[in-house]
Amino acid sequence: MAPAGNKYLDNIEPATGNVYCKIPDSDNKDIANAVNAAATAFPEWSALPADARSNRMIKIADIIDRKLDELARAESIDNGKPVSLARSVDIPRASSNFRFFATAILHFSSEAHTMEGEALNYTNRLPIGVAGCISPWNLPLYLFTWKIAPALAAGNCVVAKPSELTPMTAYLLSEICMEAGLPPGVLNIVHGLGAKAGQAIIEHPEISVISFTGSTKTGQLIAKIAGPMFKKLSLELGGKNPNIIFADCDFDEALKTTVRSSFQNQGQICLCGSRIFIEKPAYEKFRDAFVKKVNEMRIGDPLDESTKSGAIVSKQHFEKIMSYIDLAKQEGGAILAGGKPVSLEGRCENGYFIQPTVIEGLDVSCRTNQEEIFGPVVTLTPFENEEEVIRYANSTQYGLSATIWTENLKRAHLVAKKLKCGIVWVNCWLVRDLRTPFGGMKQSGIGREGGFEALRFFTEMQNVCIKL
Ligand code: NDP
């Protein structure tokens, strides 16, 4: 549908720097229309038996699977990520999100509390109404569906906005939902700018539950607006995750996975580890092997099947990352690998590419080690013992995730418990069971997504007490 103001924004392919399509520049009138459509569809959608909603959602998952190649290619063009990554991770995960919540709702239950001889309490978990879902550009369809699927499964109708930088697969999802027979108004995808269309979602009085993933700064703004309106909020925000490498780790496995956890998707995953702490006896060996592997990484056209490292999402983000590399130098860091933009030939000559960058010699408290860069930039820091590395790991305002590499399981348990973050991986990274709670502590967010937690978030509790 055309935007009410009839205005459009350029959509740029980051690998080429060229505008390749236009997207609606929606405003508060479009959001008001979307909310009306959602509110009109709500009574019927929320009254459906769970298995009827589930069936529609499984159809959506089936169509996503069928369109895997088309969606992966669209995601790669829009975001700059390697098409092989979009095909193996982003799009299958989007389909899993629908399938997972379509089946989870069939097993969702609530509590009953009996007061012997006096009364029986049971708790209803009721759909709330119109949910607002806002997601970022780094894992476009993956994170968009991670919010939309539990909201719909729980019986809500949704107004959702993808990042204006990566709107294409969200648009394709709207077509898929129509093909799957999702009733009109149940899911309303609105394109546009965060500060305009996004904020109109947050401000709309009829949207009383909001699930947001993005930066801590935007999260703070959203909390400020939504707080006085008493909206239910789930905020998944930034991170500055530590990778902790003990000297007794499985060296080859730790090395291989830490290269991946540092640079997958050009470091633009909220769960990437950007601060690598290495126990002193292993420091030189790990550093040298890590730098060697990073120097072997090749950056290429994201649409080339053999490319493992693609483009940075936008010119603005490219400039932000480069400014942090300059800052690291000013702060006294030594660049051990990368540190420069990459010029490719041919179709990608004007794209936004940065070498994977490794820096050492920085204090844990400097800005490079404290602020989220969200790009292919990591720092290496040696540590003496557990106590010191726990202090280092917990020293930022963030608390999203961490990895611990050790063959000493007792130590892994003890260190994990002392880390102030929502997700800890031991001897692995990005292994995800969708039933587990997902989210961060401190300024990395409020609430947890995933599993029944997400279904609880998207429902309102009501206790009914019956005198016996
Ligand atoms: P932003 O906070 O800039 O944007 C996130 C989303 O919010 C986008 O759709 C954006 O729209 C929208 N938005 C921006 N301003 C407003 C506003 N005033 N009101 C409502 N919506 C708004 O984050 P990025 O897109 O730059 O994403 C990167 C960030 O996301 C990083 O900090 C990263 O750590 C975090 N992230 C966290 C995850 C987690 O699970 N904790 C997972 C993935 C990423 P638009 O882009 O169109 O302006």
403 & 462 share domain? no
pLDDT digits (tens, 9 = 90+) for 106-126: 999 999 999 999 999 999 999
Please state whether beta strands 207-213 and 232-236 pair in parallel, antiparallel, or not at all (unpaired). Answer: parallel
> Does residue 349 have an active-site annotation?
no
- CATH number where 387 lies: 3.40.309.10
The rounded Å distance from CA 215 to ligand 1 centre is 5
- Is a pLDDT exceeding 90 seen at residue 209? yes
Q: Is 2 inside any structural domain? A: no
pLDDT of residue 298: 95
Mean pLDDT confidence for 340-369:
98
Q: Is the CB–ligand 1 distance for residue 134 below 6 Å?
A: yes
- Taking the C-alpha atoms of residue 259 and residue 272, their distance in angstroms, rounded to an integer, is 10
Residue 403, ligand 1, Cβ within 6 A = no
Q: What is the pLDDT of residues 130-187, one digit of tens each?
A: 999 999 999 999 999 999 999 999 999 999 999 999 999 999 999 999 999 999 999 9
Residue 252 lies in a domain: yes
Residue 175 covered by a domain:
yes
Q: Is 206's pLDDT higher than 90?
A: yes
Residue the block writes with tokens 């709207």 = 174
> Is the four-CA dihedral 213, 448, 37, 66 of positive or negative sign?
positive
Ligand 1 contact via 100 beta carbon (within 6 Å): no
Give how far the C-alpha of residue 51 lies from the chain's centroid of Cα atoms, to the nearest Å.
28
Inside any domain, residue 438: no
Mean pLDDT of 360-366: 98
Beta strands 334-337 and 357-360 are antiparallel
Coil, helix or strand at residue 346:
helix
Of 187, 176, 206, 180, the C-alpha closest to 71 is: 176
At 15 the three-state DSSP class reads coil
| Backbone conformation region of residue 355, classed left if phi is above 0, alpha if psi is from -120 to 50, else beta | beta
How large is the average pLDDT for residues 354-372? 98
Exposure string over 211-232, b if 16+ CB within 10 A, otherwise e: bbbbbbebbebbbeebeeeebb
Residues 115 and 262 in one domain: no
Residue 281 has what pLDDT?
A: 98
Mean per-residue pLDDT for 304-313? Answer: 97
Residue 270 appears among annotated catalytic residues: yes
Work out the average pLDDT over 27-32: 98
Q: In the structure encoding, which two tokens stand for residue 326, read together?
A: 């300059």
Q: What one-letter code names the amino acid at 54?
A: S
| Residue range 279-290, pLDDT digits in tens | 999 999 999 999
User: What is the Cα–Cα distance from 399 to 403, expressed in whole angstroms?
Assistant: 12
Report CA-CA distances (Å) from 233 to 119, 147, 156, 226, 448.
Answer: 33, 12, 15, 8, 10
Question: Does one domain contain both 320 and 291?
Answer: yes
Same domain, residue pair 331 and 362: yes
User: Does the residue 222 lie in any domain?
Assistant: yes
CA distance 243 to 261: 9
Number of Cβ atoms within 10 Å of the Cβ of 66: 13
User: Mean pLDDT over residues 258-266, rounded?
Assistant: 98
* 163 C-alpha to ligand 1 centroid (Å): 7
Q: 267 and 190 in one domain? A: no
Q: What residues does 440 pair with on adjacent strands? A: none
Torsion of CA 421, 355, 139, 141, to 10 degrees: -170
Alpha-carbon torsion 375, 376, 381, 386, what sign?
Answer: positive
Element (H, E) at 147: helix 140-153
Domain assignment of residue 251, yes or no: yes
Number of domains in the chain: 2
Mean pLDDT of 385-399: 98
- Tell me how far the alpha carbon of residue 372 lies from the centroid of ligand 1, in angstroms: 13
State mean pLDDT over 335-356: 97
The answer to whether 272 and 286 have CB atoms below 8 angstroms apart is no
213 in contact with ligand 1, CB cutoff 6 A: yes
Neighbours of 455 (CB within 10 A): 20
Do 116 and 225 have their domain in common? yes
pLDDT above 90: residue 5: yes
Same structural domain, 116 and 247: no
Nearest CA to ligand 1 atom 34: 238
Is 439 a domain residue?
Answer: no
Domain that holds residue 138: 8-237+444-467
Same-domain check for residues 207 and 275: no
Ligand 1, pocket-test mutation among 213, 324, 448, most atoms within 8 A of CB: 213
In a domain? residue 3: no
Tokens of 125: 């978990």
Whether 239 is in the pocket of ligand 1, judged by its Cβ within 6 Å, is yes
pLDDT tens digits, residue range 318-330?
999 999 999 999 9
Where do the DSSP E strands lie in 44-115? 112-115
- Which among 112, 107, 114, 137 has a CA at the least distance from the CA of 122? 112
Domain match, 186 and 313 both: no
pLDDT at 12 over 90: yes
Q: Which of 110, 112, 126 is nearest to 468 (CA)?
A: 112
Distances (CA, A) of 199 to 205, 223, 462: 12, 11, 30
d(CA 237, CA 267): 16
For residue 96, the cross-strand partners are none
Mutate which of 12, 23, 28, 134 for ligand 1? The one with the most ligand atoms within 8 Å of its CB, which is 134
What is the chain's mean pLDDT, rounded? 98
Alpha-carbon gap, residue 245 to 283, rounded angstroms: 9
- pLDDT exceeds cutoff 90 at 312: yes
Residue 314's CB: how many other CB atoms inside 10 A?
19
Q: pLDDT band for 25, please (50, 70, 90 cuts).
A: very high
Pocket test for ligand 1, best of 145, 163, 203 (most atoms within 8 A of CB): 163
Q: What is the pLDDT of residue 384?
A: 98
pLDDT score, position 87: 98
CATH number of the domain that residue 448 is part of? 3.40.605.10
Percent of the chain residues topping a pLDDT of 70 = 100
79 shares its domain with 103:
yes
Residues 412 and 461 in one domain: no
User: What is the chain's Cα-based Rg?
Assistant: 23
Q: Cα dihedral angle (206, 209, 214, 219), rounded to 10 degrees?
A: 80
Instruction: Tell whether ligand 1 has an atom less than 6 A from the beta carbon of residue 167.
Output: no
Judgement on whether residues 147 and 256 belong to the same structural domain of the protein: no
**pLDDT computed for residue 309 by the predictor:** 97
Our answer on whether the CB atom of 137 is closer than 6 Å to any ligand 1 atom is yes
What is the pLDDT at residue 1? 85
Q: How confident is the model at residue 433 (pLDDT cuts 50, 70, 90)?
A: very high
